[in-house]
Chains A and B, each alone.
Chain A
Amino acid sequence: MQFEFDIQGGDFSSAGKASSDIKKVLKQLNIDPKIVRRIAVALYEAEVNVVAHAYKGVMKVDLDAQKIKIVLEDEGPGIENIEKAMQEGFSTATDEVRQMGFGAGMGLPNIKRNTDEMLLTSVPDQGTRLEFMVRF
């Protein structure tokens, strides 16, 4: 089963809509609640990353009986140093974003912690592609 969501950069008030919709679906499927929660957390963090850093993005969710696979592709400044971006506490978020309670530099490490596989690629000044997977 597939789902697709458009995410608008800068739209902090709507951040969380896509992850909330997916969470609702997962809750009806008899998946271990702990796994549902891990997915929900990763989805939200990923969504917020697009909202906080990119101009716009698309989240594609692919769900089967074994796993959930999520791909987020955005148009934005991209990430210059991925290794650095994966470090806890590292953030390039603007003061504005931080004032809204985001940009603590925990997003990507948090996604990594909550997923079974994660792949992050980026072209600076073009955009970022984040792919992650959680097994049921």
Chain B
Amino acid sequence: MKDRNYTHAIQIDTNKCIGCSHCMQVCPTQAIRIIDGHADIMPERCVDCGECYRVCPMRAICVKDDGLSFVSDDAYRIALVPSVFIGQFPSKHTASEIMDAVKQIGFDEVFEVEQAVDFIKKIYDTIADEADFSLRPIIGSFCPAIVRLIQVHYHSLTEQILQIKAPLDIAAFYLLKSKAKENINPDNIQIYYITPCAAKIVAAKAPVGEKVSPIYATINMKEVFNLVSKTLIEKKDSKLSKQFANMSPDSVKWSISGTEKQYFRGRSLAIDGMDNVVEFLDRLESGRITGVDFLEMRACDQGCAGGILCPGNRFLTVERLEQREKKLESLAETEESVRNDLMDYAEEIQKTFRVDPVYPRDGLQLDDNLEIALQKMERIKKLNTYLPGFDCGACGAPTCRSLAEDIVKKKATISHCVFVQRVMEKNYNLSPEQAFLTIEKIWGKDRLKKYQHLNGKTES
């Protein structure tokens, strides 16, 4: 079975994009090409990790969220806030103040996603022994960019992905259940998720392993950050603070690197950062990793603290979350307990926390037919020996190998390579005009305009 849902949150604003190719060079799945002077994303390969977003000098890569558009007034609006959001602010603002400021944007209720982590910790203990998970290591499904990376690049590892809901979905499920008890019509509830990244938007819009997501809309964390910052600056005197610990203290650190792995019995590793994950999965796929039971993986360095939509510094965010952990610890000690309302629904959540298996995607495949795919591969191999192997990117593809692939897929020609082009011109296989047109096709018409005055003479 194959997964062919290619919904994405990462998009390119062609009005702003100058086709500089920074994004193309960093894309870990080689999903970007430069065509007509703009970056172009191959939907079947993109995993919404957002590495391109980080490097774009023109801010031409945008993350398509649903935004803060409150249409109907009678809806009961709940904001799901991930702990990293609280970590964006200096510790002089208490978590309660920050949550209250989020509420003031226009929500009826705010809820911290990580409360759902307490449930997940509980099931990790039993899951570790289940026969269904005999294939080791089990790969945590927390980070949606990692799940998609495996779907595109590591087909044989899809079976090892842990089939459970993310904390965000468990939190949403709990909210719908508990509000029903308060006689709030579930159809009237709108759950907004304040997202630290693009991948979580896609997870909410087109969930893997689930039919529909309970999330009504996603909002870019930067937008909420701006609104909350304003409120916090204006209201200096409010000293709201928590009276009790509403979740176990280290749950606040679940989304960053290194906490989740501690809850899986056996040998477990925490790997963060796209390059590190890719290197590790490569080894794992070749059977080079043995005796490991669990992999906690995050696409971003420092986990969600390094999310592309987090306005703050990732290291300060991590430190802030560590401080919150300590604060919750002292609250839990004085109260001698943790009072997490979500855990009252543990039995009900238990019935629905599993999701369907994850299936591979065709992002890399040359052809459905093996015979034809082989012929294409043979051509790629041959073309590759002609190309210079510098991976200069001047052809509009990230590597010589990917240009060879594009040629075979009829998306480019050998004359896209500037080195081959020179030789073709010298041998009169290609006129200078044709070569010029080829360059324009890749880098856009305007790109060459400023050189028009050169006119045969070069200035010294």
A65 x B374 contact (CB < 8 A): yes
A33 x B360 contact (CB < 8 A): yes
Among B97-105, B285-293, B307-315, B431-439, the one that faces the other chain is: B285-293
B360 x A28 contact (CB < 8 A): no
8 A Cβ contacts from B270-299 to A: 282-283, 285-288
Residue-wise, chain B 308-324 has the 8 Å CB interface mask toward A (1 for contact) of 00000000000000000
Which single member of A20, A23, A30 contacts B373 (CB below 8 Å)?
Answer: A30
Q: Which residues of A lie under 8 Å from residue B364 when comparing CB positions? A: 27-28
Task: Please report the total number of B residues contacting A with Cβ < 8 Å.
Answer: 24
How far does the Cβ of B444 sit from chain A's closest Cβ, in whole Å? 30
B285 x A40 contact (CB < 8 A): yes
Which single member of B285, B367, B370, B378 contacts A23 (CB below 8 Å)?
Answer: B285
Interface centre among B156, B360, B378, B381 (most CB of A within 10 A): B156
A1 x B374 contact (CB < 8 A): yes
Among A41-49, A86-94, A119-127, the one that faces the other chain is: A41-49
A65 x B158 contact (CB < 8 A): no
Interface centre among B155, B367, B369 (most CB of A within 10 A): B155
Residue-wise, chain A 6-27 has the 8 Å CB interface mask toward B (1 for contact) of 0000000000100110010101
A45–B155 alpha-carbon span in the complex (Å)? 21
Which single member of B287, B365, B370 contacts A45 (CB below 8 Å)?
Answer: B287
Say yes or no: A23-B286 contact (C-beta < 8 A), given A28-B365, A33-B155, A36-B155.
yes
Q: Which residues of A lie under 8 Å from residue B369 when comparing CB positions? A: 30
Nearest residue in B to A29 (C-beta to C-beta)?
B373
A1–B380 alpha-carbon span in the complex (Å)? 11
Q: Is B416 an interface residue (CB 8 A)?
A: no
B366 x A28 contact (CB < 8 A): yes
Q: Is B74 an interface residue (CB 8 A)?
A: no
Q: Which residues of B lie under 8 Å from residue A110 when comparing CB positions? A: 287
A45–B283 alpha-carbon span in the complex (Å)? 12
Residue-wise, chain A 27-62 has the 8 Å CB interface mask toward B (1 for contact) of 111110110110011011100000000000000000
B377 x A25 contact (CB < 8 A): yes
How far does the Cβ of A102 sit from chain B's closest Cβ, in whole Å? 10
B282 x A65 contact (CB < 8 A): no
Q: Which residues of A lie under 8 Å from residue B366 when comparing CB positions? A: 28-30
Nearest residue in B to A45 (C-beta to C-beta)?
B287
A16–B285 alpha-carbon span in the complex (Å)? 11
A81–B371 alpha-carbon span in the complex (Å)? 40
B287 x A44 contact (CB < 8 A): yes
Q: Is B130 an interface residue (CB 8 A)?
A: no
Q: Which residues of A lie under 8 Å from residue B153 when comparing CB positions? A: 27
Say yes or no: A1-B381 contact (C-beta < 8 A), given A29-B366, A30-B369, A36-B156.
yes
Q: Is B347 an interface residue (CB 8 A)?
A: no
Residue-wise, chain B 365-390 has the 8 Å CB interface mask toward A (1 for contact) of 11111110110011001000000000
A97–B378 alpha-carbon span in the complex (Å)? 37
Q: Is A130 an interface residue (CB 8 A)?
A: no
Which single member of B285, B288, B368, B378 contacts A1 (CB below 8 Å)?
Answer: B378
How far does the Cβ of A125 sit from chain B's closest Cβ, in whole Å? 30
Given A23-B282, A28-B366, A29-B374, output 20 extra A-B contacts at Cβ < 8 Å. Answer: A1-B374, A1-B378, A19-B286, A20-B286, A27-B364, A28-B364, A28-B377, A29-B365, A29-B370, A30-B365, A30-B369, A30-B373, A33-B156, A40-B285, A40-B286, A40-B287, A43-B286, A44-B286, A44-B287, A65-B371
10 nearest A-B residue pairs (beta carbon): A33-B155, A41-B287, A33-B156, A37-B156, A44-B286, A40-B286, A29-B373, A65-B371, A28-B366, A65-B370
* 28 residue pairs bridging A and B, Cβ less than 8 Å apart: A1-B374, A1-B377, A1-B378, A16-B286, A19-B286, A20-B282, A23-B285, A27-B153, A28-B364, A29-B365, A29-B370, A29-B374, A29-B377, A30-B366, A30-B367, A30-B369, A30-B370, A31-B370, A36-B155, A36-B156, A37-B285, A37-B287, A45-B287, A63-B374, A64-B374, A65-B370, A110-B287, A136-B370
